């Protein structure tokens, strides 16, 4: 197993007190697998990614465990983290323009990862930088090395970000909305490139997005998050064909479909509750079309609803009783923290 995220909880300090942003988040990523994390903005997708990279604000409290190749990232020292970041795991961000240093040349920014993690000399590094630029499909690599981010297009900039991330052959690549800031035509190219690189390098990818189209295109497995919790997890086909959680269903209904005449696009009414006013029961309660009394009082347990398909919803209570072990296990670990 490449990455195991187990019962991760994250609290951030806001106005003097800690508020829990992520609660009991667990999932796994295998080698060569792309795992999508979807959800509305503010659901904790990006913070999940930043928790794995340990790029959190200083006053963040991270609980649970994140095992990268069976080593617990949450226990890494600062120095150890510096060795792992950009080397064993890398990250690509949403806006490639602001994510690249405007004052350094593209070549220098890619080379930096090599300086930090390899013993190569200048000539070797230069060769590798040009090779990387070619790998990410950029033309005239030799000239590009000396250019600055502002001289490139959005798609090119994101390719540069990918080149930086790929420089040291990471095992895990985390992509935080990598195509959101790009033109639609460029989006597909970038996704193709990432699929291609994944196959060559046999790495695991975490794809954070709010775009279910992206999920359908590149992911093997999908995690649906809502208000800091995982509400459903399944392989991509299963999730699209057989969604269980009312929130997932709502998300899927909000995608426009070709050839289907519909009066109105589905939408989920209401808003995500704010982290310091989380309901005691199901967090989706207020917005759920199928709410029951129990939903308001008790947190829905995580339960299996199919092969490799889990969800946290009281609607599937019967199945819970049959398979009680997984549920209580999850609960115990959270209570310990």
Q: Which residues bind another protein (CB under 8 A)?
A: 53, 55, 81-87, 90-91, 93, 95, 98-104, 112-113, 116-117, 148, 150, 161, 164
Nearer to another protein, 29 or 236 (CB): 29
Nearer to another protein, 101 or 289 (CB): 101
CB of 87 to another protein, least distance (A): 6
Question: Which of these, 229, 222, 337, lies nearest to 283 by C-alpha position?
Answer: 229
In this structure, the number of other CB atoms found within 10 A of the CB of residue 275 comes to: 18
CB of 169 to another protein, least distance (A): 13
Q: Please provide the size of the chain in residues.
A: 337
Nearer to another protein, 78 or 318 (CB): 78
Using CA atoms, how far apart are residues 21 and 47, in angstroms rounded to an integer? 8
Nearer to another protein, 95 or 319 (CB): 95
Beta-strand relationship, 172-176 and 309-312? unpaired
CB of 206 to another protein, least distance (A): 13
Q: Which two tokens stand for residue 44?
A: 């904790």
CB of 115 to another protein, least distance (A): 9
> Treating both helix axes as pointing N-terminal to C-terminal, what angle do 154-166 and 184-201 enclose, rounded to 10 degrees?
20
Strand pairing partners for 226?
229
Measured CA distances, 217 to 46, 135, 174, 211, 265 (Å)? 20, 21, 17, 10, 22
CB of 53 to another protein, least distance (A): 6
Nearer to another protein, 206 or 212 (CB): 206
């Amino acid at each position: 197993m490449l990455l195991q995220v187990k019962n991760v909880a994250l609290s951030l300090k806001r106005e003097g007190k800690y508020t829990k942003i992520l609660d009991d988040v667990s999932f796994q990523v295998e080698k060569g697998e792309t795992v999508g994390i979807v959800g509305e903005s503010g659901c904790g997708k990006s913070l999940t990614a930043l928790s794995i990279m340990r790029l959190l604000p200083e006053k963040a409290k991270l609980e649970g465990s994140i095992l990268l190749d069976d080593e617990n990232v949450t226990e890494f020292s600062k120095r150890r983290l510096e060795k792992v970041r950009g080397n064993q795991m890398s990250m690509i961000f949403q806006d490639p323009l602001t994510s690249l240093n405007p004052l350094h040349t593209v070549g220098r920014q890619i080379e930096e990862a090599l300086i930090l993690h390899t013993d190569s000399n200048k000539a070797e590094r230069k060769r590798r930088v040009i090779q990387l630029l070619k790998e990410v499909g950029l033309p005239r690599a030799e000239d590009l090395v000396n250019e600055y981010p502002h001289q490139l297009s959005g798609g090119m900039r994101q390719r540069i970000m990918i080149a930086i991330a790929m420089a040291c052959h990471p095992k895990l690549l985390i992509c935080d909305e990598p195509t959101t800031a790009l033109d639609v035509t460029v989006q597909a190219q970038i996704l193709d490139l990432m699929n291609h690189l994944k196959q060559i390098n046999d790495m695991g990818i975490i794809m954070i997005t709010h775009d279910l189209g992206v999920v359908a295109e590149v992911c093997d497995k999908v995690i649906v998050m809502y208000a800091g919790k995982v509400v459903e997890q399944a392989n991509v086909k299963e999730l699209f064909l057989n969604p269980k959680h009312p929130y997932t269903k709502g998300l899927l209904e909000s995608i426009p479909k070709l050839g289907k005449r519909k009066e109105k696009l589905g939408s989920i009414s209401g808003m995500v509750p704010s982290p310091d006013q989380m309901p005691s029961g199901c967090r989706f309660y207020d917005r759920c079309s199928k709410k029951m009394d129990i939903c308001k009082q008790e947190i829905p347990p995580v339960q299996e609803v199919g092969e490799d398909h889990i969800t946290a919803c009281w609607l599937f209570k019967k199945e819970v009783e049959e398979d009680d072990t997984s549920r209580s296990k999850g609960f115990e670990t959270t209570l310990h923290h």
